[in-house]
Structure 1
């Protein structure tokens, strides 16, 4: 990663302090975020997963702890919508420019609203996808909120 990914380049351009952390990605893992937490030896509550969703048909990026499930009604409410659903993986890849398992909230091809689970802000450092499979960025959650313009909200079931 000498040049960096779009995600790490976006963080550098924003002047955000972060550490890129590589891990052994398992393409056969049932839950990618949980596999990342295990490979990193980290609390799954600190390893956040990036989910591309549709709220009332419009794209929204949701960030939640890897060991939790998103409550779609809570996500919709966080952006003043009525209904939310997961975005089909092929659409998520096309919209973000990343492949599933490597979708980062940073440096996406198109800027969309971002909502982050508020409990993640209690940790001094969290991990988010660094823009490729097997790469996470460790950073202060407040910096992620600032750079992404994220809305903190209760999102988990």
Structure 2
């Protein structure tokens, strides 16, 4: 019988499309569950605070709509996405943040729980280069109150992504 995956606290790791994709690819990760406060809308800052992790190690997944199609930018929660820099990386001339309903439909996740891994519609993905400064980073695990900790190189492998400077600090 297969052993159930355990999170950093020894508790069971929720099964999400992200965890299924990582397990299928043989990519190691650690799940971190925390109690999400439904009144909170700054999901990344909440994750950093609740997990006791510096905000520069917690990364948010943002979907953009460009003249070349949809794309994903992943930046730390302490930074803002430089939409123009991401557009250039995606081969587009213009970009704007995707509508929340579109982001949820294309990713298969709810806003505040959008993981870069296991999205319903795989999209070109760019991880901010600052992630490479850390042995591991945290990204949403596919629901609010659940983050995945993994090596940046493993994240890039999981999403067939690349790195570039796409942040405004």
- Please tell me the TM-score bracket, short chain as reference: over 0.9
C-alpha distance in 1, partners of 2:165/2:13? 37
TM-score normalized with structure 2 length:
0.89
Deviation per CA, 1:67-105, whole angstroms, max 9, x where unpaired? 100111111111121111111111111111111111111
Question: 1:11 matched to which residue of 2?
Answer: 22
Find out whether 1:147 has 2:120 as its counterpart. no
Find out whether 1:80 has 2:85 as its counterpart. no
TM-score normalized with structure 1 length:
0.95
C-alpha distance in 2, partners of 1:116/1:11? 17
C-alpha distance in 2, partners of 1:28/1:88? 21
Find out whether 1:35 has 2:46 as its counterpart. yes
Give ranges in structure 1 of 5+ residues lacking alignment. Answer: none
Greater alpha carbon shift after TM alignment, 31-40 vs 2-11? 2-11
C-alpha distance in 1, partners of 2:99/2:24? 30
Q: List aligned pairs for 1:71-110, cutoff 5 A.
A: 71-110=82-121
C-alpha distance in 2, partners of 1:115/1:85? 15
Q: Secondary structure of the residue that 1:131 maps to in structure 2?
A: strand
C-alpha distance in 2, partners of 1:23/1:43? 16
Find out whether 1:67 has 2:78 as its counterpart. yes
Give ranges in structure 2 of 5+ residues lacking alignment. Answer: 1-11
C-alpha distance in 1, partners of 2:63/2:149? 20
C-alpha distance in 1, partners of 2:14/2:167? 35
Q: Secondary structure of the residue that 1:45 maps to in structure 2?
A: helix
1:26 to 4, 27, 37: 37
